[in-house]
Every structure is written in structure tokens, then in C-alpha cells.
Structure 1
Amino acid sequence: MAEQTLANHSDRLNAINIYPVADADTGTNLYLTVRAAAQALADLEPSDVGVTMATAGRAAMEQARGNSGTLFAVSLAAMAEPLAGAQRLSGPLLAASLHRAQLRAWSALSEPMAGTILSVLEAAARGAASVESVFNGDESNQALAETIEAAVCAAREAVVLTESQLGVLSEAHVVDAGAVGLLLILDCLRSVIIGEPLQEDLMDGLSGYKVQDPNIALTMPEQDGVEVMCTITLTPLAAAGLRLELDGMGDSVIMSAVSEQADPTGAYQWRVHVHVPAATLALEAIRAVGDPSNVSISALSATAAKEAHELI
């Protein structure tokens, strides 16, 4: 359901995608990331909730696209951890999963910012926790329904606030695209849990989200540089060193372990994301510490497209 919903909304999400760069691809990136997770589950044999979520999370992490796609993938993988061994989802487990997800997402970014998908994830976790504190461990379907309802309601309020939390969004009079994308995904989860359709009025009143609103991303100045993404196996110490080096040469640095399982040498698989002036800068640093896979280079401007194509 989330895959189809994001496909339906991708054009509008792209149109308001101006932070951290106006590259008009947030909707597309979230759709492709969710599609990777959905495809991984297509042939999965019925199993416990934790295995299902972990499988989806790993697939999303390995194929994540863009800032928002990467942060969503990090969140999805983190949500699986409290669900290990669970045969069904409950209110307490959902609250714990959302809490774990927001902690992991905030820590994955070198410079996390309020007014983004992070704020919405945090609000959803807070909304779920408020219900859990009232129901106090109740694992009934009613408690689960109220937990997801509270999470979506809090997320919707957080999306509205994004416009006032980031200067570039305030000036453009739009809400954050990644934040809206996460809200749509959460409403898909709500729909599945309680067996009701998606909320038709969920997007009403969100600045810049009417179909007739202009494509604000097209009016923004051209962005320099490229986005480099890859998966690489490193020890935690080596990963910390790579993060520090990437922080020094670019921005929008996201690094998170794909899973909590280390190989025999104590190394983990990491998903890496960074915006840099030139792809060679990041690739040299990455290849100096390991052998990257799933390498993706996307131009943040038309002038960088030729280099991105040549280096992939």
C-alpha cells in the first residue's frame, strides 16, 4: 500500500522538495526505497513480525535513495529490533519500535535538523508513547489502534510545523517533502492496522500541497555537487573515521549500520550517504577504507550530470 501511495504522490512531493537541496526527487526516492522493501517481502515465507520488518529494513537500507529514502530505511531497520520474535504487532511494541526508529534516525545524521522527516518521526514516537503510558502494556487490538491513531495525528501536526522550523521552507511557504512522505507511510500503516481507507483529508491545508500549487523546486537556484551513496563493510572505528572525513568534505552525511549483526572480524555493513562538490572526493575516501557496493551517484545539478554518469 505504501508503495502505491507514494507513487501516487511522488510528483507533488518532488514539487515541494527544496531542503536540503532543491533536486526535486524526494517523492521518487521514497517510492524507490519503499519499493525495494516491498519486493524483498514478495517471496518471504510467513514469519514473525520482527523477521518481516528486518527483511524489509535491510532491503530498504541496501537500495535506499536520497536523504529521505535513507532516513526512512534507517528507521525501518531500527523498528525491527524491538519486534524480534513477536508473532503480532501490539501497541507497546509499536511504541517501542517508533522510539527506536527516531533515535536511530537522529543519530545517523552528522547534522540532524528539526523541521524535517526527523521531527515527524520523533512526534509519531511521542504520540505512540502517550497512548502506551495510558494503556500501560495493554496488547489488545484497541490499544494498538489507538496507538497508531495517536502516532499519525502527532505526525500530521509535526508536518505542519516544518514550514516554520526551517527558514528556506518559510520563505517558500511549503512544508518539508520528506516529512509529508513519512506521514503518508504512517497513514498506510494506520489503514492496514485498523482496516480503514487512507484519510482523504490528510493532506488538506499543507502549504504547497494542492495540485494547482506551483512546482516550487523548479524556481530554486541550481544546486552544485553530487550525491554519493554506497554500502560498505567496516568496523565501528573505521566507520567513525570515514564519517569524520566525509563531514570535512561535504554535507548531508548519513551513516547507519544495515543490521546489528557483525561479521567474524567485527565489521558491519553500513549505508553511506553524502553530498560533495565532486564524486571523486568521496569515492577516494570510501575506497581507501573498504570496497563499496551498490554505489549510486546522482547529480544535484545539470552541470554535474556528466561526472556522475562517468563515475558510477
Structure 2
Amino acid sequence: MRALDAEAVRDWAEACVRDLRALRGEIDDINVYPVADSDTGSNLLHTMTAARNALAEVVPPNAGAALTALADAAVRAAKGNSGIILSQVLRGMARSAGNAAELDGAALAAALRAADTAATAAVARPMAGTMLSVLHAVAVALDETFGSDFGSADRTTEATEAAEVTATTGPEPGEVATLAAKIAADALAQTPHQLAPLAAAGVVDAGGRGLLVVLDALAEALTGVRKQSFDDVTDTTHANTAQQAWEVMYLLTVSDENRAAALSELRRALSELGDSVTVAEAGEAEYAIHVHCADIGAALEAGLDHGRPHHVRVEPLLTPKPPDTVAAGADRAVVAVVHGEALARLIEAEGTPVLTVAADREPTTEELLNLINGTAAAHVTVLPGGIHLTAAAERVTNHPMVAGRDVVVVPCSSPVQVLAALAVHDPGRRAGADVVAMAEAAAATRRGELTVAAEDAITWVGRVFAGDVLGFIDGEVVLVEPRDTADRVERAAIGVLDRMLAVGGELVTVLVGDDAPAGIADVLAEHVRAERPDVELVCYPGGQADAMLLIGVE
């Protein structure tokens, strides 16, 4: 085995280009996520070839310089989302190596962990089941096997030279690379279980497959043994496609003033335009930008708001229609958007994909697109757990990135209406009839709510002071319990519930918020048993931060 010196880096780059060229067609064929545009293999090959060619034109004095030459060229030539991520893998390794003459096993493990950090940081919303999750599995395994302190991602030139990388303990570089490839192969095999489009097409993630090629090549460069860690790439029937959007890429020079804030705002703006947003560091004050969107001009204007775009590249993007081979019953899906982690876990336990959003914000366009497109279904019903969440969901129903899918939003004003809709969902029913049934169930569910007044106010039922407990029914204040009443929450909860049941009801669903007093569910259960034994009561932890209790009556 050999250490990763400058010559080994050169051999690695050559092996990467050779194998990516050989497997380009296979990788392109399995490219179905985020769009089935059959170019992931080509993009990885283009990016790595440019990096290899740049390294061939210089004589780097050490491994760190060789990795830096690869990374700099890859960032500037990166093509597609996968190409940008690969460039960040190389950049992370280069930064970790510093000016090291060569990398031993510990240093290589640290470099691969740094690659994971750099690549993940560049992507606006990392997704499980992609190239990033394969890379992260490698980083976790290396950390567990060798320890995060075994090799430093911040080693100085002096420390490297002092060590001379001649340590007699620790793993050989080839052992680290071989383990990395094995872990990547195992993680790649799991990607169809993590992303519905991959499962529907019967393939693994194309970007992850390309990353495995790169790691196999690294192991070969260090051990002299050529091995393919994952040979059973499953062919897939190409999805029907229609041109709907564009892949926009450019380099952006950003001024030093408020750079972090500018980049954060740029990510937000691009996420509102489309998906697959990447903002990756490309050098001093320079960043590689990537987005899939329908409006090329808006993507460039977003960059102009924060710097100087240059090296602009735009290519047509093919948005997939769901494969014709999707099994019966899997051609449609129901998804939910809610506030509260506990509620999200409750919904996920029923097999419904869910997007959890913090109470103080709305979901971004990219988050909603990923939720909808991640189902690989032709018909998607969205159940948003609130008025503002409903409005956000309705804004993306006609987005170009969901073209080919029928996206329907069932308006819900409260999470209890989401649960009511899910309770009547029947996958065996026709899609239109199922939507109608869910919409009717949501609309028929009356909603109650208990909150604490944040400030003094005047309501229909009298004056309110900050700290008072307010009871709402269908959005209107119906009672106020003064803040100085010891059992004000229990009294308010029972008061709201009794008012709701006074006009009828057979099933009461209560979602308990984070700030609700302990035992409130037992208080309500005892009251219902004593006063309304004909009514069924179920209580769940909701995890919501904006209401102590959410009550639904059906």
C-alpha cells in the first residue's frame, strides 16, 4: 500500500476519469432524481475530466497542492448538481490536507470527513437517499472506526512536516479507502428505501453511484487492486419526460461586506424559484451557484442582488412524469405539512410523508417541491395543518417543477382537520372521490384552541389581559379565564369542549402542546367519561408551540 502523495492523487484522478467514462451510460440511465434528465454520469465525468486535466498541467509539490489543483478546477468546471457536490468533496479533502506532503490513513480519514462537511454545507436542503447521504454514511463509519480525533482536519504545515507521516500506528491509507468504498456501496444499496422516486423506478441514486466510482478509484490508486464495490446497477425504463424547466449555473463574486447574510438571502431566493439549490464556495469571495427553475432571468437577478455573476451556463431540464410502471395504488399519494415534531411523528407512523415546519415560519418552495416530487406519484394530495400552510401549499400546485403531476390541496385550518382527513383516506378509492371524502371530513371537523394572551386586548367576550387563557372555537374567542385563576387551563379546556359538544359530536381529538400543564389529558378524559359517556376522546402529544391545546370534534 502507498500513502496518498501527489503522484497517487494524479493516479486517482486518472482512474476516476477512466471509470466514470466507462460507467457514464449506466449512471445516466438510472438518473431519476431530482429530475430524470439522464445526465448525472455525464456531469460527473465532465467535472472530473476538467479537474484531471488541470492537475496534468502543473507539478504540485505535495499531496495538498495536488488536491487543491483538482478542487479549484472542479469547482470552476462543475456541471449539474452532482458535479458541484463532487467539486466540494475535493475541496473539503484539499482543505483538510493543507500543505501535507502526503496523507497517511488517519489524514485520509479526516479528509473524507471534511469532504462530507463541505459537500453537505453547499446544498440548501440535503436529502436522504442521495449522493450526500452516501457520503455521510462514509464519514460516520470512518469516525466510528478510527475516531474523530484520529487525524486532524486542521493540521498545520509544521505539524505535518514534524510528523513526516511515518506513524507506525493506525490504518493504512488503502485500508481507509477500501472501507470507505465498502460503506458507500452499502449506503448506496439503501437509497431506494429512502427516496420514493428511486423505489418506483427500481434504481439506486445516480449521484451516489458516481461517488462510489470515485471511492473505488481512490482505493485502487492506494492499493493497486481494481475492484467494483457495487456491480448490480439496476436498469430502468426511462420516465416519460417533457421539457419544463432549466438548469442554471454560474459563478458569483460576492463582496466581503455582509457576505454570510447575502449568501443566506441568495439561498432563500433561489429556493423560492425552484429546487436542487446549491451555493458552494469556489474560492476567495467566489461561489458556484446551481438551481433548477423555470425562470432563468430571476435566477440571474437573484445573483445580481448579491454580487457579480459570470461563467453563466443554462441547459434545458427535463421534468419527469411518474413512471408508467408504478404499481397500482402507488400512482397517487397523500402528504402533510404541519407544525410540531410530535404531530409529524404521529402522521409518519401512519405511512404518510410529512414536512415539519417551525411554528414561526412557512415552508419554502423547495421544501414543498421536494415533499411532492419525492412521492413519485402522478396524483398528490397535500394536507396542510393551518391557514398559512394551506396558502403556501397552494402556491406551488402549478409550479413548473411539478408539471406532469396532479397536485390538490385540501384546505385545513388546524392539524385536527388533517387527522380527520387522514382517517377517511382510502387508497383503494378513486383519486377524485378520495379527495372529496378527505375535504368533507376536514370541513366537518370543528376546531377548538387554547392559547395564552400575549398582550392586552378587547374581544367579543370582554377585555383580555396578557397571561389570560383564551378559548377559541372555529377561530372566534368564546371564553376568557383570568391569569390569576389557579385552574384556568383546565377550566378553559372543559369550557371550550362543552361548548363544542353542545351542538353535537361523537369523536373528540385533542393535540397537547408543549406548554400544556401535565395531566390535562387525564382531566379531559375524566370529564368526558362523567358528562358525555357517548363521546369517544383521544389525546395525542402534538408538540405545537403556539397553542396549549388543539381540539377537534367530529
TM-score by length of 1: 0.86
Give 2:302's aligned residue.
285
Give distance in 2, aligned partners of 1:134 and 1:143. Answer: 16
SS in 2 for 1:292: strand
The structure 2 residue matched to 1:255, chosen from 279, 288, 292, is 279
Alignment equivalent of 2:247, drawn from 227, 230, 239: 227
Matched residue SS, 1:80: helix
1:126-205 matched pairs, under 5 angstroms? 126-133=140-147, 139=167, 143-197=172-226, 199-200=227-228, 202-205=229-232
For residue 205 of structure 1, give the secondary structure of its aligned residue in structure 2.
coil
Q: Distance in 2 between matches of 1:231 and 1:220?
A: 32
Pairwise CA distance, 1:287: 2.4
Secondary structure of 1:258's aligned partner: strand
Is the contact made by 1:127 and 1:153 (CA closer than 8 Å) also made in structure 2? Answer: no
- Deviation at residue 135 of structure 1 after TM alignment: 11
Cα drift, residue 288 of structure 1: 3.2
Q: Deviations over 1:214-247 (max 9, x none)?
A: 4x3x323335210100111113332222122111
Displacement after TM superposition at 1:183 (Å):
0.1
Match of 1:33 in 2: 47
**Which residue identity does 2:36 align to in structure 1?**
A
State the AA in 1 paired with 2:230.
Answer: M
Structure whose residues are more often strand by fraction: 2
Partner-residue secondary structure (3-state), 2:203: coil
- 1:270 and 2:287 are equivalent in the alignment: yes
Q: Which amino acid aligns with 1:276?
A: C
Quote how far apart the aligned CAs of 1:92 are: 1.1
- CA shift, 1:52, in A, is 1.1
- List alignment gaps of at least 5 residues for structure 1: 263-267, 303-312
The amino acid that maps onto 1:150 is: L
Deviation at 1:44, TM superposition (A): 1.2
Q: Who is 1:43 aligned against?
A: 57
CA contact (8 A) 2:251 2:312 kept: yes
Structure 1 residue 289 displacement after superposition: 2.8
Asked whether 1:122 is paired with 2:136, we answer yes
Residue 254 of structure 1: SS of its match in structure 2?
strand
Q: C-alpha distance in 2, partners of 1:6/1:16?
A: 14
Q: How does 1:212-223 map to 2 (within 5 A)?
A: 213-214=235-236, 216=237, 218-223=238-243
* Contact preservation (8 Å) 1:128, 1:148: no
Over 3 Å counting, the alpha-carbon distance change for 1:87 and 1:204 in structure 2 is same
Which residue is equivalent to 2:118? 104
Q: Does 1:241 align with 2:265?
A: yes
Partner of 1:306: none
Report the count of equivalent residues. 286
Please say if residues 110 and 148 of structure 2, whose CA atoms lie closer than 8 Å, have aligned partners that are also in contact.
no
| TM-score (ref. length: structure 2) | 0.49
Change (3 A) 1:34 1:134: closer
| Higher RCO (C-alpha 8 Å, min separation 6) | 1
Deviations along 1:141-198, whole A, 9 cap, x unmatched?
952222111111100000100111100101111000000000001000000011112x
Say if 1:125 and 1:291 are closer, same or farther in 2 by CA, change over 3 A: same
Whose Rg is larger? 2
Which one-letter code corresponds to 1:246 in the other structure?
A: L
Q: Tell me which amino acid in the other structure corresponds to 1:245.
A: A
Q: 2:315 aligns with which of 298, 301, 305?
A: 298
Deviation at 1:139, TM superposition (A): 4.1
2:97 to 74, 80, 83: 83
Which has a greater percent of helix?
Answer: 1
Distance 1:286 1:145, change over 3 A: same
What code does the residue aligned with 1:95 have?
Answer: A
Kindly state the Cα deviation for residue 14 of structure 1 after the two structures are TM-superposed.
Answer: 0.5
Question: Residue 36 of structure 2 contacts residue 318 of structure 2 at CA under 8 Å; is this kept in 1?
Answer: no
Question: What residue number does 2:24 align with?
Answer: 10
Structure 2 residues without counterparts, runs of 5 or longer: 1-14, 152-165, 320-554
Distance 1:255 1:73 in 2: 12
SS at match of 2:287: strand
